DNA sequence: CTCCCATATGACACCCTTGTCACATGGATA
DNA sequence: TATCCATGTGACAAGGGTGTCATATGGGAG
């Protein structure tokens, strides 16, 4: 019975310590390697369980990854969920700054999670299609509507293509926030990131040109 | 003799047709797969040469990839090299727009090349470190200096961190120019891209805020 | 003709992975 | 103690990749 939970009931029955060891080992492997390069052999060795046991807990490698990736998404949602409902019609740039900040905080506080995430983003393979493509497309339309709304209210220049702007915003959050030349996620520092966000928002908001009113 | 050219002399001696078949097959495989997932078996099959012959032409898979990647870089340089010397002290934003446009033209006219390139960018592995990291770091400092110079001349806001701005510029050229949700490099259209570039430059230049002079 | 060297060839050895399976273990229950 | 069921276990089959090597081929030189 209960044969179609994603991890098996057997896994859920495990004592917490063993579960933690497995999750930990998987997290390590998946944060250091893309899915296809992650090796079950490493995971079972690091977790200190026999290979055979693993297959009592999960269907296969993909199944494990799916489980881990859900953990990552859930964690990220903890950081973002308060911001998204948007009851009081915040300007888009305010929402953007809040999301950007929350996302950065998530990255700093959960570096391994972010690395798992980044591998999927970069992979652009099946896993990407199945696990994040839809979310990003959703974010895109969400942003586009938001931007159009702000344009209608005169908060944003109406000659800007909402799709292009939304794409920039998403790319910035995905890339700029997470890495820097030679600096890995583990070494991020909150104050520095906060400054960077302020800078980025300022550029997006006012542009880089000096003393120049916009068109 | 000549034992340390990258492809062997034997390869260089091959008749053009056979060379082309090999390069073509390699290009196909490397544009559809990251290095580690690219299969020599596919390449030799597509090129119509026996497996053993391949090892008379190249040291190994990595060697072949290196050769192919050089071809890609050379091709890209054909598009960019005129712009980089910068004799007449162009404003940074003008240079940026020119590079962006040239890069886009390269992408549209050589989609397979771009895909090879993107795989490396996304891989963030050894290949990335060896083949593009240095170039990107170089580009970064080049931009930073350029930006500082423009700031000194009052063309750009001096409260902007040149490093952050340079990073944004590089990320935009690497990501925004190349893909879009659901649109692969093969389907890019020049006019559409030109519009997008104009939009992006405009946002960077003046910001997105309506009727708002900058700080 | 035959010798020589560059080149061609594909079966094969080797490596490393994943997922399986027949068997072991152990605690609860009667 | 006997039995049962969940769980543990690691040797192993199968698959799929790369690079090698013993052997074939073929054109030019003597």
Low-confidence ranges of chain A (pLDDT < 70): 1-5, 176-186, 211-215
pLDDT at B212: 53
Are B117 and B35 contacting, i.e. CB atoms less than 8 angstroms apart? no
CA of A50 to C1' of D12 (A): 14
CA of A77 to C1' of D22 (A): 62
Interface contact A129, partner B, CB < 8 A: no
Q: How far is it between the farthest Cα atoms of chain A?
A: 70
Distance, in Å, from the CA atom of A79 to the CA atom of B58, rounded to the nearest integer, reads 50
Distance, in Å, from the CA atom of A45 to the CA atom of A49, rounded to the nearest integer, reads 7
Phi, psi of B180 (to 5 degrees): -155, 160
Q: Can you give the length of chain A in residues? A: 215
The pair of three-digit structure tokens given for residue B74, joined into one six-digit string = 């050379």
Interface contact B80, partner A, CB < 8 A: no
Which three-class secondary structure state does DSSP give residue B209?
strand
Distance, in Å, from the CA atom of B119 to the CA atom of B122, rounded to the nearest integer, reads 5
pLDDT at A184: 64
What are the tens digits of pLDDT across the range B166-200? 999 998 888 755 666 656 666 778 888 899 999 99
The answer to whether residue B94 scores a pLDDT higher than 70 is yes
Contact A157 B209 (CB under 8 A): yes
Q: What is the average pLDDT across B130-150? A: 93
Smallest CA–CA distance from B147 into chain A, residue: A208
Which three-class secondary structure state does DSSP give residue A180?
strand
The pair of three-digit structure tokens given for residue A69, joined into one six-digit string = 């990736």
Q: Which of B102, B15, B118 is nearest to B69 (CA)?
A: B118
pLDDT at A215: 38
Contact B209 A210 (CB under 8 A): no
Which three-class secondary structure state does DSSP give residue A92?
helix
Burial B93-130, CB ≥16 within 10 A → b, else e? bebbbbbbbbbbebbbebbbbbbbbbbbbbbbeebbee
What are the tens digits of pLDDT across the range B124-137? 888 999 999 999 99
pLDDT at B215: 38
pLDDT at A159: 94
Helix (H) or strand (E) holding B31: helix B16-32
The answer to whether residue B211 scores a pLDDT higher than 80 is no
Q: What residues of A are in contact with residue B158 (Cβ under 8 Å)?
A: 210
Q: What share of chain B is helix, strand, coil (3-state, %, to 5)?
A: 70, 0, 25
Distance, in Å, from the CA atom of A105 to the CA atom of A118, rounded to the nearest integer, reads 16
Q: What nucleotides of chain C have any atom within 7 angstroms of a protein Cβ?
A: 6-12, 16-22
Contact B203 A165 (CB under 8 A): yes
What are the tens digits of pLDDT across the range A109-145? 999 999 999 999 888 888 999 999 999 999 999 999 9
Distance, in Å, from the CA atom of B151 to the CA atom of B156, rounded to the nearest integer, reads 5
Distance, in Å, from the CA atom of B149 to the CA atom of A96, rounded to the nearest integer, reads 30
The pair of three-digit structure tokens given for residue B165, joined into one six-digit string = 């701005």
pLDDT at A2: 33
Judged by phi (left if over 0) then psi (alpha if -120 to 50, else beta), residue B5 lies in: beta
Q: What is the average pLDDT across B70-76? A: 96
Residue with tokens 């340089």: B77
Residue A46 CA: distances (Å) to CA of A43, A54, A113, B118: 5, 12, 18, 33
Distance, in Å, from the CA atom of B129 to the CA atom of B126, rounded to the nearest integer, reads 5
Are A63 and A4 contacting, i.e. CB atoms less than 8 angstroms apart? no
The mean pLDDT value of chain B amounts to 89
Q: Which of B66, B205, B62, B73 is nearest to B138 (CA)?
A: B73
The answer to whether residue B7 scores a pLDDT higher than 60 is yes
CA of A36 to C1' of C19 (A): 16
Are B160 and A210 contacting, i.e. CB atoms less than 8 angstroms apart? no
Report the residue of B129, B134, B203, B204 to disrupt the A interface, i.e. the one with the largest count of A CBs within 10 Å. Answer: B203
Residues in reach of strand C, judged by a CB distance below 7 angstroms, are A 38-41, 51-52, 55, 60-62; B 9-10, 13-14, 18, 49-53, 55-56
Domains of chain B, start order? 9-64 (1.10.10.60), 82-206 (1.10.357)
pLDDT at B88: 77
Contact A168 B200 (CB under 8 A): yes
Helices in B129-189 by DSSP H: which ranges?
134-152, 162-171
Q: What nucleotides of chain D have any atom within 7 angstroms of a protein Cβ?
A: 6-12, 16-22
What is the C-alpha R_g of chain A?
A: 20
């Amino acid at each position: 019975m209960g044969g179609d939970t994603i991890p098996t009931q057997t896994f859920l029955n495990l004592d917490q310590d063993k579960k933690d060891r497995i999750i930990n080992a998987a997290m390590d492997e998946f944060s250091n390697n893309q899915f296809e390069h992650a090796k079950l052999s490493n995971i079972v060795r690091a977790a200190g369980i026999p290979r055979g046991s693993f297959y009592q807990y999960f269907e296969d490698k993909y199944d494990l990854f799916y489980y881990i990736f859900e953990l990552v998404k859930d964690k990220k949602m903890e950081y973002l969920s308060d911001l998204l409902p948007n009851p009081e019609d915040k300007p888009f740039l305010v929402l953007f700054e809040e999301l950007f900040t929350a996302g950065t905080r998530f990255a700093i506080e959960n570096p391994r999670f972010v690395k798992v995430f980044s591998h999927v983003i970069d992979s652009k393979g099946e896993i990407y299609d199945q696990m994040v493509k839809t979310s990003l497309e959703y974010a895109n339309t969400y942003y586009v509507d938001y931007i159009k709304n702000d344009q209608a209210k005169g908060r944003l220049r109406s000659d800007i293509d909402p799709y292009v702007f939304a794409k920039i915003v998403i790319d910035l959050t995905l890339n700029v926030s997470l890495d820097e030349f030679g600096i890995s996620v583990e070494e991020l520092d909150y104050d520095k990131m906060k400054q960077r966000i302020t800078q980025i928002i300022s550029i997006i908001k006012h542009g880089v040109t000096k003393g120049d009113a916009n068109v």
